[in-house]
Amino acid sequence: MPERDRVLRVDLSSETVSRERVPEAWRRRFIGGKGLGARYLYDGLDGGTDPLGPDNLLGFCVGPLSGYLPGETRYAAVTKSPLTGGFLDSYAGGDFADRLVGSLDDCLALLVTGVADEPVRIVVEGGDARVEPAETWGADTVETDAAHPDAGVACIGPAGERGVAYATIASDAGDHHAGRGGAGAVMGSKRLKAVVARGDPPGVPPALAALRERDERAYAEGDTGRWQAAGETIESVDFANEVGALATEGWQRDRFEAADDIGIEAARSAAVGRERPDREVPGGFEVETDAGRSVPRGAAPMTLGAGLGVAEFDAVAALGEHCDRLGVDVISAGNAVAWAVRAAEAGRVDCEVSFGDPEGARALIEAIATGGAGPCEPGVADALAGGVDAAADAYGTDDAIPTVKSMELPSYDPRAAVGMALAYATSDRGGCHRRARPIEWEAVADGASTSDRVAAVVTAQNTRSALWSFVADDFAGEPLWDGFGAEWFDALGYDHDAASLRLAGERVWNLVRLFNAREGFDREADELPPTLTEPVTDGPAAGDRVEPAAFERLLDAYYAARGWDRDGLPTPETLARLDLDAVADAETPVGTPPENDPPRHDDD
């Protein structure tokens, strides 16, 4: 088993490939995956670098434990986002991730810069890479995968080729996506159609076999494992609807009357099988569509179903499958269509799409992804290719579709759980529910205090930053939470204990904050859109809203817990404690400690 201590660099402008050793201090402090990718991104980019220019870096990153950990092997796509202008890490699993780990051999990442003269693919094998012509430019993600039957493939579809700001990197014929924030557009800007991994997945070393068996069993027998075995992420539809947090028809309501028709029971009825049925905890539900077989995740029925008022599971699955083939993020795409419907209803644009209209939604998503004619007046689809904020700026509309840092929110409405609002606002990649999900307990809890909410969000953000540096499965990695995987590292002879790994998670979160601060992000970037300050109009959460003054106090408490100043910038003392003081460059603004401790609001 090789020690993973190198990276592969590919410069597409010169078509050169090089291998280099990762500095030992970087491996110790940032581990791999998200953390190491963030370190290379911060070191390699200047502030203001064009996300779609040749200098942007795109990393396909794994960790020292990749291929060994319980659950599905995953990789991290790390780059500067064309949607937000800030840091982006996005994750995907499946066969490609397995084969990428085996293909990289002793490398922790494939780092890509430059722009090719003509469309290319990168083939990774035996710890090395080569650049070859891409013969599938113009093909969708399923067709591109089929052109490489003997390898794992991560590729872009038409949306990535066109530079849609929320284009995905698709793998396993579109079943898996590094989805949010536009990493696929970065690939397209480099004329990189695909990364092809030809190596075999690594075997689990004997030193780790017992740990893997133990943790897989603990996961399968735990609450999350049982939940995933029963319903995977589609059960999120039923949960959000029950607590009154399912954003419906363009965020106009928070319950969907037809939720039962697109939720877990509908998925079970439509399914022809389960993804990975040979595993103790199987994957998502496979369903048949006119274009082939699809695996809809929870985001599809939430955003393309309830969010667009589409009440038929088959229609939602078909919409999701269409997004998968085009290589476009379902959350941003669904919100883009919802924006167009609401803008048309308000007389701001001419667009023949309505809620409950899957064919109209499909036509608009197609136009956004390909640049073809669509159901809206010329210019609307082009504007929406840049995201909801870009379209709102172009047409002067209000912020009816909420975003944070220009990333469209998923369909968990945070007005039913203000801790979720804090998680959205402070997410390092924009409006994201994966960094912290306090809504899972807060929406059904009574009397949560400011300190409860802040502690829950900070702890989850730090822990996931550590686990995504390993790159652990988001669900099956839960048995690692308590000890931060220290036993795993110890079994391979790494000098890490739980305390150092916990600190690494906090360090990575703060490094990304430095990256975003260098791009001009501060407290203003952590503000919530005014839509969320309006009361919920129906359902169990009727009357709930994010009260602006209370939210500002919550944000103050979060910054204090982080050791940041009131503008949301890490202070020199915090950077020194995290060994980041020598990392911050002269371009990056650093916080100044407040003269007095911020007030405490434990009873809010």
C-alpha–C-alpha distance, residues 152 and 114, integer Å: 23
Higher per-residue pLDDT: 33 or 234: 33
C-alpha–C-alpha distance, residues 171 and 77, integer Å: 12
Question: Is a pLDDT exceeding 70 seen at residue 12?
Answer: yes
pLDDT for 311-354, tens place per residue?
999 999 999 999 999 999 999 999 999 999 999 999 999 999 99
pLDDT for 371-382, tens place per residue?
988 999 999 999
- In percent, how much of the chain has pLDDT > 70? 97
- At 369, list the tokens: 């992804």
Alpha helix (H) residue ranges in 329-416: 330-345, 358-370, 380-384, 388-395
β-sheet bridge partners, residue 360: none
Question: Is a pLDDT exceeding 80 seen at residue 219?
Answer: yes
pLDDT of 457: 95
pTM, entire model: 0.95
In a 3-state reduction of DSSP, which class is residue 553?
helix
160 closest CA partner among 335, 371, 352: 371
C-alpha–C-alpha distance, residues 570 and 233, integer Å: 35
271 closest CA partner among 293, 252, 290, 254: 293
pLDDT confidence band for 489 (50 / 70 / 90): very high
Question: Is a pLDDT exceeding 60 seen at residue 116?
Answer: yes
C-alpha–C-alpha distance, residues 337 and 143, integer Å: 26
pLDDT confidence band for 551 (50 / 70 / 90): very high
pLDDT of 381: 98
Phi-psi region of 172 (alpha: psi -120 to 50; beta: other; left: phi over 0): left
pLDDT of 591: 95
Domains with residue ranges and CATH for the chain: 6-197 (3.60.9.10), 224-408 (1.10.569.10), 414-577 (1.10.599.10)
